[in-house]
Amino acid sequence: MRRVFVCKTGELAEGDARKVDCQPAALAVFNSGGVLYATLDMCSHGNASMSEGYLEDDGTVECPLHAARFCLKTGRALCLPATDPLRTFPVLEDGGAIYVEV
């Protein structure tokens, strides 16, 4: 497992999301209601960037393309048209910075 730097602590405000370039696939990091989550940035249903989705403060995000909704904690698809989950990753804060463990 390796750490991918996201930003300094406090730079990702509540209600914000950001895309983080990472190999082999970009990540999306969210601050939903003050809780940090990370998923693959690509929607499980198609070619959409989840970091551009509609983030709610209840730990869910809606895909910007076809409006499937996902649980950020588990990655589970909560409604159609998506049926496959988003892959999720642990987020940690250390030394004043936010990282995703991949």
List contacts with ligand FES (CB under 6 A).
Answer: 43, 45-46, 48, 63, 65-66, 68, 81-82
Residues 48 and 65: beta-carbon distance below 8 Å? yes
Residues 100 and 3: beta-carbon distance below 8 Å? yes
CB 46 to ligand FES: min, Å:
3
CB 98 to ligand FES: min, Å:
25
CB 69 to ligand FES: min, Å:
9
Q: Which is nearer to ligand FES, 16 or 62 (CB)?
A: 62
On the CB side of 63, how many CA atoms lie within 13 Å of its CA?
A: 29
Q: Which is nearer to ligand FES, 7 or 49 (CB)?
A: 49
Q: Which is nearer to ligand FES, 55 or 98 (CB)?
A: 55
Q: Which is nearer to ligand FES, 43 or 71 (CB)?
A: 43
Please give the Cα distance from 50 to 60 (Å, whole number). Answer: 11
Q: Residue 25 burial by CB count (10 A; 0-12/13-18/19+): exposed, middle or buried? A: exposed
CB 16 to ligand FES: min, Å:
20
Q: What are the phi and psi torsion angles at 51 (to 5°)?
A: -70, -15
